[in-house]
Amino acid sequence: MTADAERFFRTSDYWRAWSAVPDFTADVDYALRAVRPSDRRVLDAPCGRGRVLKAVRSLGSTAELYGLDVNREMVAQVRRDVPGAHALAASLYAIPFPTRSFDAVLCHESVMHLDDPRAALGELCRVSRDRVYFSVTTRRQLNTLLRKVGLLGSSDVPHWTYNAEQLGPLLPESFRWEVRGAFLLGRKALRISHAAHARFHAAIGRHLPASLLRRFGQTLFVYGARVS
Ligand SMILES: C[S@@+](CC[C@H](N)C(=O)[O-])C[C@H]1O[C@@H](n2cnc3c(N)ncnc32)[C@H](O)[C@@H]1O
């Protein structure tokens, strides 16, 4: 398995930049849709500094919360900032839990950073008893286009993009999958804050037709329910 991207996230100081992202961004709500009040064990992988775990807790969930991330600085922040959550440093390619350990498995804003998303999704599905959620950025990202033409700076962060039609081969057949789209216009392209983007999305973005968002949205939100 190639692991260049994983090495970047384990060893670089990317964690510092990501730690500056606020707890609530417009997309966090999409992760929360995969969680149910009856859930007893929820895994967030990769968990970063734990903002999705915090959001799950803020729903009033009494589930046991687990977070996993390849970066030790991220894991340390979860241990410090999300009381009661179990956080561990580990790879998505070898999740150290038994098969079907969790009711819901969340993988927010991360699949586009993986050099082997199929293997990682296989692992995320393996440890889920019932539901898996992930989000991924699409090739139609305006940010990507603006970067290409030099209007949005450059980035050395490993990043791949997927349109809805490219997801099929990545998805284990033991789950039934539903794909939703969102964000015709991204925050960076609009050059607005996370808070303003969330307001813009709540007022306008999320009311656009689902077919339009799935085809032209900048992010896809993918929900899997175990069928076998
Ligand atoms: C963009 S951040 C998202 C974190 C979190 N889901 C959130 O929304 O705040 C991506 C995270 O993936 C982690 N990561 C990247 N590759 C990984 C891998 N192969 N195994 C585990 N974690 C990984 C990085 O360390 C980083 O914390």
E strands, the chain, in order: 41-44, 64-69, 86-89, 102-107, 128-137, 175-182, 219-226
pLDDT at 153: 72
Nearest CA to ligand 1 atom 10: 110
Nearest CA to ligand 1 atom 23: 70
pLDDT at 1: 43
Q: Which atom of ligand 1 is nearest to the CA of 49?
A: 9
- Check pocket membership of 51 for ligand 1, CB cut-off 6 A: yes
pLDDT at 116: 97
For residue 174, the 8-state DSSP code is T
Q: Which atom of ligand 1 is nearest to the CA of 44?
A: 6
For residue 100, the 8-state DSSP code is T
Whole-number Å distance, alpha carbon 28 to ligand 1 midpoint, is: 15
- Check pocket membership of 113 for ligand 1, CB cut-off 6 A: yes
- Check pocket membership of 52 for ligand 1, CB cut-off 6 A: yes
pLDDT at 141: 64
- pLDDT tens for each residue of the chain, 228 residues long: 447 999 999 999 999 999 999 999 999 999 999 999 999 999 999 999 999 999 999 999 999 999 999 999 999 999 999 999 999 999 999 999 999 999 999 999 999 999 999 999 999 999 999 999 999 998 776 666 777 787 777 788 999 989 999 999 999 999 999 999 999 888 887 889 999 999 999 999 989 999 999 988 889 999 999 999
Whole-number Å distance, alpha carbon 69 to ligand 1 midpoint, is: 6
CA 211 to chain CA mean position, Å: 22
Q: What are the C-alpha distances in Å from 188 to residues 127, 163, 180, 183, 227?
A: 34, 19, 21, 11, 38
Whole-number Å distance, alpha carbon 17 to ligand 1 midpoint, is: 12
- Check pocket membership of 27 for ligand 1, CB cut-off 6 A: no
* Per-domain residue ranges of the chain: 4-226
| Residue 99: both structure tokens together | 């098969």
Coil, strand or helix at 78: helix
pLDDT at 187: 87
CA angle 83, 9, 50 (to 5 degrees): 20
Nearest CA to ligand 1 atom 12: 46
CATH homologous superfamily, domain 4-226: Vaccinia Virus protein VP39 (3.40.50.150)
pLDDT at 139: 79
pLDDT at 154: 72
Q: Which amino acid is at 161?
A: T
